[in-house]
Amino acid sequence: MRVRVRALAAATVLVLAATSVAAQERTLTERHPLRLGDAFAVGLGEGSVLAAGGVTVPRHGAAQGFFPLDVLYSPLPRVQFSVGAELNTDPRATDDPASGDLTLAGRLNFGPPTSFLPSFATQLAATLPTGVGARAVDLEAKGYATRELTLGEIVLFLHLNASADVRATELGDDERRLRYHLAAGPSFTLPRLAALTLAGDVFVDQARRRGETETVGAEIGARYRLSPTLVFDAGVGTEWAGPRDRAAFFALVGLSWSFTTTQKP
């Protein structure tokens, strides 16, 4: 009898812990697993290391592997800095950005949402030509908006991302100086599966080269919290409009490890 009581108590603690942790697992970070990001503020002294591996199968050409890696940290309230890069198994086929290019970014959250306005955040980033065959510096300004809706027992978050990037140096004759990117979609957690977060989006990317059409696609993904500090994520998607070499299919899996440098009272 005592064994059963202890087992029941342990199971209850695990369920409550998973529910508590998942309540914080509403965040979305670009490329882990989707290109969609949220506008939420990161706690002071909190950070994450995010690593993933994926494959892209183009409509014409050979499949390629890609491996994004990002490190995020918040040294100030509502302020987050990040550094990231992505490696590709065929660097010669990847130039926007190039395989191994380093991206440095700083992000500011404008505070909690109000009754009428969603959460807002903005980010400035610079991609440096540290990769294979890279030649240009790209600058990006990005805006995030997230709105919370309650549908019965489900809390739904609607996200909108809009950015413009500028080729600051080494502009090619056939390249645009300025181009835009858009992504929008929902994320939510099921009440009975509190450790699991589901998300999806549609996106539009303007081509760097003149004469090429915008890339339009969609993706879906999930994040599952394995422990208070470890999250597994996976996503799949497709690009149904765009250049000839657009992706017929892409998929990604990864792990995120979170940490904190501040002591909680």
**87-101 residue pLDDT tens:** 999 988 777 789 999
Q: What whole-number percentage of the chain has pLDDT above 90?
A: 71
**How many other CB atoms are there within 10 angstroms of residue 233's CB atom?**
24
The yes-or-no verdict on residue 229 having pLDDT over 90 is: yes
The pTM of the full predicted model, rounded to 2 decimals, is: 0.87
Q: How confident is the model at residue 59 (pLDDT cuts 50, 70, 90)?
A: very high
Q: Name residues whose C-beta falls within 8 Å of residue 171's C-beta, 6 or more positions apart in sequence.
A: 136, 177
pLDDT category of residue 14 using cuts at 50, 70 and 90: very low
Does residue 18 have a pLDDT over 90? no
Which of 1-5, 107-111, 186-190 is least confident?
A: 1-5
**Least confident among 76-80, 130-134, 256-260:** 130-134
Mean pLDDT (whole number) for 133-161: 93
What pLDDT is attached to residue 25? 55
pLDDT exceeds cutoff 50 at 12: no
Residue 260 pLDDT more than 60? yes
Residue 10 has pLDDT above 60, yes or no: no
Indicate whether 265 pLDDT > 60: no
d(CA 45, CA 50): 17
Mean pLDDT (the chain) is 89
pLDDT value at 113 more than 60: yes
pLDDT for 36-45, tens place per residue?
Answer: 999 998 899 9
Beta bridge partners of 149: 156
The residues that bridge with 260 in the sheet, in sequence order, are 46
Cα angle vertex 128, ends 126, 131, to 5°?
Answer: 140
User: Mind listing the domains of the chain with CATH numbers?
Assistant: 2-260 (2.40.160.40)
Which value, to the nearest 10 degrees, does the dihedral of the CA atoms of residues 77, 83, 86, 87 take? -150
pLDDT in tens, 172-210: 889 999 999 999 999 998 888 889 999 999 999 999 989
Query: Greater confidence, 133 or 186?
Result: 186
